Structure 1
Amino acid sequence: MMFRRLQQSWRATAACAVAAAGGYVAGGSRNVLDSESSRRVRPFPVSVEGTGSGAAFSAVSDEALRRAELRHADRSIHVPQMLSPPPAVSSPPVSGAPLGRYTIAEAIDRAGPAVVNITSAAADESLFGLFGPRVPGALSSGSGFIIDGVKGTVLTNAHVVVSAKRSGNPVSVSLRDGRSFEGIIRSVDTTADIAVVELVREPPDVQDPNSPVPLPSVELGDSTKLRMGEWVVALGSPLTLKNSASLGIISATEREGYEIGLVGGAHAFIQTDAAINVGNSGGPLVDLDGKVVGISTMKAADSDGISFALPINYAKEVIQQLEQYGSVRRPYLGCKLLTLHRVLADELARKSFNFPREIDKEWASKNADELGVLVHEVEPNGPMAKSGIMPGDIVVQVGKKKIMNTSQFLAELGHKVEMDVAIVVIRGKDARRLEFTLHPDIRK
């Protein structure tokens, strides 16, 4: 399955022809994205907690039941024959306030004013070679959101502005209230697909009543607390339609990069069925509190209801690195890792007598599908090799935290470098503690 970054592009020609162009994809390839030409409307499920005055039903006569059925016949409401309280269930209670008529609208109102549309231009191009007439470069449109209203700092996807960054052109940023600003691209990290843009404006002065007030900004949430099935809203400018919103749920909280065809992905994605289309890239994915939990990034090609967002906690780490160093310093491990699923573990156990058959009893829950991180290959003289780790080892702990998959392992290491790390691996039937130092990845 091919996945494409969501970025709308068009070329400014005399005929004003409009075309959609693809964005950044891992590996550096670019693909043409087709605009969505059809829309599906799904019925919105409404859960009714109670009816009437809220009094609990216990014993009701047959005559009362008959009257109730006749009274509500015009509403097509089925009155159950058994109105005694239902038996207790073991599932945990649903937390949070019930979903009301304006719950989603209020979430949009909290984040919406800080959502922006970003238009950028690539370098001018020549029609007939080096000495031919030059035409304006392709324009691209995406989304973003303001994270600092005083400084005018905007967060977006790198593939939204990377062409303008390479050409040295500024970008145009417009808010929901109609105001527009020129934006300077401060930093771009194509590996994480995150960029920081700073709006060119007079900085606000609290002591000057005539000074411009701070711009609206979003509140960043905690993506580690997301749950499958939780409601989210994608905000942005799909197909250049500014100030658009689409509703969906969290389909998966940690969809690993290799599962969606991204080679070398060091982080997991949030999967959602909220509609994310060309132009949504860089826009916020917000929860019902209006807090940003992700950055809309891409969708499955030729599919509906399969979209992906960067977790906001991952973006926070990248932003901190960009502000502190101007680039992202990533640790280099020198090994290839795989999430050890139970099916894979059972297969390896059948083929190798030394494979730990009892790993799930001590290091993972009984019904867990993920049991740890399998070391597939180790680079000679690499950091992991120097620690004594070997192919076939199973990493089950980093520091004091148990690790069940590669996303957790890499997230625990984060972007820290020049630091000592202790891990616990299972080798055969023994658990071993190994230590190594994280060094920055200096490969080009």
Structure 2
Amino acid sequence: MYRMRWPSFSKHVRDRVIRPCYKPKRSSYAIAAIASSLAVSYIESEVNHHHVLSETHPEYHKKDSLHRNFIADAAEIAAPAVVNITVVSGRTASAGSGFFIDARGYIVTNAHVVDRCNRYSRIEVTLADGSKIPASLHSLDRMSDLAIIQVQSPGRLPTDKSLTLEEDAIAWPILHFGSSSQLRPGEWVCALGSPFTLQNSVSAGIISAVARQSSELGYFGKSGGEYLQTDAAINTGNSGGPLVNLDGQVIGINTMKVEGSVGISFAIPADVAAQVIKQLLQHRKVVRPYIGLQMINITSEVLRIMRQNYKTVPAELESSNGHENRTVGVLVKSVAIGSPAEKAGIMAGDIIVRFDSKPVKTTRDILGLLGFEIGRSIHVQVWRRGEDNLKSLTIVTDMLPSNNSL
């Protein structure tokens, strides 16, 4: 049995308490340096292979990309926007990480890093250069475990003299979101933050899984959604920091790890985070869509049971040959009474084949198509006992329950 841990410092995590103003005089960490070298020889038909560019040569990074350190390049892009966040409450403090997303000083982090703030707490942000500035809580959403804080002092002056003083005053370094939906297992990523309050730390690894269900982790928490799994080191204090691709774009927000494990950590996908953050910036809260469905993905086992119970199943499912990653459609487990789905005539046992006129394979597809646009009408094609039916429902406002219903 394993336990999930949120990697942020807190008195509520394993009796680990950070006292304000505590600064160790001598590091208690034993650091072992392991060096390795890789000799690569190659022949390129169009160039003289006897001519090798040195790293100091101005054309080195243009022509000899084989020798570039892409991990270092990504970290160099992202690092200036990454911060350490300390929340001081009375005699104790908790700490995590975050990053700038807006030149006006908005910083994204995990909700569990700052959710115990009260009128007597203070938030302190440590920038990449070591300077410290105060911040205030802008908004948070416990269900998605995301929060926004805002620094209370103007940004540093950039070197571009063409900017006006007013523009200069808000020039914080920011990170941009990439697409998490296009990720594949095996892609390289970097995790940045302040593990154990060690500022400006970078770890690297790969994407281990792109859609790890929270139920698989025994974690039926706030969102009940999916996470990116990575083997990049994410430790106490990394919560809220960015997980970036080799272009330095945020593709996930580091959130938790399996306690006692090595290389099993999880991040909130960027596509999900971006939608929540947009709502927090606009409304200071998340207005979630609701249609009243509880659904499950159609696996090979579910398909086997369906074949036993029904004379026919959708052609799309038959063509999948029982391979889980090729099934088409999502099974409706239950429909809430009085919900938009019930009013539209959708019933338990129906199979949603198309949602908003687009084919769907998983509940994740439906969640992505649902979006956050309240009041929109959606066409839903369902299969029921050998027949296709077209239904129309309207998205309404509600809080997304912690189970897998929408």
Which TM-score band applies after superposition, normalised by the shorter structure? 0.7 to 0.9
Structure 1 residue aligned with 2:144: 192
* Deviation sequence 1:90-136 (CA, Å, 0-9, x none): xxxxxxx96644221111110001100000023x4xxxxxxxxxxx3
Larger Rg: 1
Q: Aligned-pair distance for 1:372? A: 2.2
Structure 1 residue aligned with 2:218: 261
2-side partners of 1:169 and 1:337: how far apart? 41
Q: Aligned-pair distance for 1:292? A: 1.1
Q: Aligned-pair distance for 1:279? A: 0.6
> What root-mean-square deviation, in Å, do the aligned CA atoms of Structure 1 and Structure 2 show?
3.2
Name the SS for the 1:295 alignment partner: strand
Q: 1:160 aligns with which of 113, 118, 121?
A: 113
Structure 2 residue aligned with 1:142: 96
Q: 2:238 aligns with which of 280, 283, 286?
A: 280
Structure 1 residue aligned with 2:6: 5
One-letter code aligned to 1:158: A
Count matched residues. Answer: 365
Q: Aligned-pair distance for 1:421? A: 1.2
Structure 2 residue aligned with 1:20: 16
Check 1:19–1:39 CA distance in 2 against 1; reply closer, same or farther (3 A cut): farther
* Deviation sequence 1:52-97 (CA, Å, 0-9, x none): 43459xxxxxxxxxxxxxxxxxxxxxxxxxxxxxxxxxxxxxxxx9
One-letter code aligned to 1:3: M
2-side partners of 1:443 and 1:53: how far apart? 58
2-side partners of 1:145 and 1:272: how far apart? 19
Check 1:230–1:110 CA distance in 2 against 1; reply closer, same or farther (3 A cut): same
Q: 1:396 aligns with which of 338, 350, 353?
A: 353
One-letter code aligned to 1:356: V
Contact map agreement 2:382 2:390 (CA 8 A) in 1:
yes
Q: Aligned-pair distance for 1:391? A: 0.8
Check 1:111–1:310 CA distance in 2 against 1; reply closer, same or farther (3 A cut): same
One-letter code aligned to 2:73: E
Contact map agreement 1:423 1:434 (CA 8 A) in 2:
yes
Quick one: percent identity of the two aligned structures?
36
Structure 2 residue aligned with 1:411: 368
Contact map agreement 1:364 1:371 (CA 8 A) in 2:
no
Check 1:53–1:263 CA distance in 2 against 1; reply closer, same or farther (3 A cut): closer
Name the SS for the 1:356 alignment partner: coil
**In the alignment, structure 1 residue 227 sits paired with structure 2 residue 181:** no
Contact map agreement 2:299 2:324 (CA 8 A) in 1:
no
* Deviation sequence 1:300-321 (CA, Å, 0-9, x none): 1222211111111211111111
Q: Aligned-pair distance for 1:443? A: 8.5
Structure 2 residue aligned with 1:324: 282
Q: 1:426 aligns with which of 354, 369, 383?
A: 383
**In the alignment, structure 1 residue 106 sits paired with structure 2 residue 106:** no
**In the alignment, structure 1 residue 183 sits paired with structure 2 residue 135:** yes
Q: 2:194 aligns with which of 237, 255, 276?
A: 237
Name the SS for the 2:150 alignment partner: strand
2-side partners of 1:42 and 1:369: how far apart? 43
Name the SS for the 2:247 alignment partner: coil
Contact map agreement 1:118 1:143 (CA 8 A) in 2:
yes
Structure 1 residue aligned with 2:260: 302
Q: Aligned-pair distance for 1:284? A: 0.4
2-side partners of 1:409 and 1:397: how far apart? 9
- In the alignment, structure 2 segments of 5+ residues that lack a partner are 18-28, 47-63, 158-162, 402-406
Structure 2 residue aligned with 1:173: 125
Q: Aligned-pair distance for 1:184? A: 0.7
* Deviation sequence 1:130-157 (CA, Å, 0-9, x none): xxxxxx3x310100001113x0111111
Worse-superposed segment, 38-47 or 366-375: 38-47
Name the SS for the 1:225 alignment partner: coil
* Deviation sequence 1:265-307 (CA, Å, 0-9, x none): 3532111111111110000001111111110011112222111
**In the alignment, structure 1 residue 271 sits paired with structure 2 residue 236:** no
One-letter code aligned to 2:136: I
One-letter code aligned to 2:16: A
Check 1:203–1:249 CA distance in 2 against 1; reply closer, same or farther (3 A cut): closer
One-letter code aligned to 1:418: G
2-side partners of 1:43 and 1:424: how far apart? 58
Contact map agreement 1:340 1:373 (CA 8 A) in 2:
yes
**In the alignment, structure 1 residue 343 sits paired with structure 2 residue 339:** no
1-side partners of 2:319 and 2:392: how far apart? 21
Q: Aligned-pair distance for 1:438? A: 0.9
Contact map agreement 2:139 2:147 (CA 8 A) in 1:
yes
Contact map agreement 1:249 1:273 (CA 8 A) in 2:
yes
One-letter code aligned to 1:148: D
Contact map agreement 1:341 1:369 (CA 8 A) in 2:
no
2-side partners of 1:244 and 1:396: how far apart? 45
- In the alignment, structure 1 segments of 5+ residues that lack a partner are 12-17, 22-36, 57-96, 125-135
Check 1:354–1:294 CA distance in 2 against 1; reply closer, same or farther (3 A cut): same
**In the alignment, structure 1 residue 246 sits paired with structure 2 residue 203:** yes
Check 1:266–1:140 CA distance in 2 against 1; reply closer, same or farther (3 A cut): same
2-side partners of 1:364 and 1:385: how far apart? 31
Contact map agreement 1:341 1:371 (CA 8 A) in 2:
no
One-letter code aligned to 2:250: V
* Deviation sequence 1:330-362 (CA, Å, 0-9, x none): 112223211111222113322x13561644257
2-side partners of 1:213 and 1:376: how far apart? 50
Structure 2 residue aligned with 1:115: 82
Name the SS for the 2:275 alignment partner: helix
Name the SS for the 2:325 alignment partner: coil
Check 1:173–1:331 CA distance in 2 against 1; reply closer, same or farther (3 A cut): same
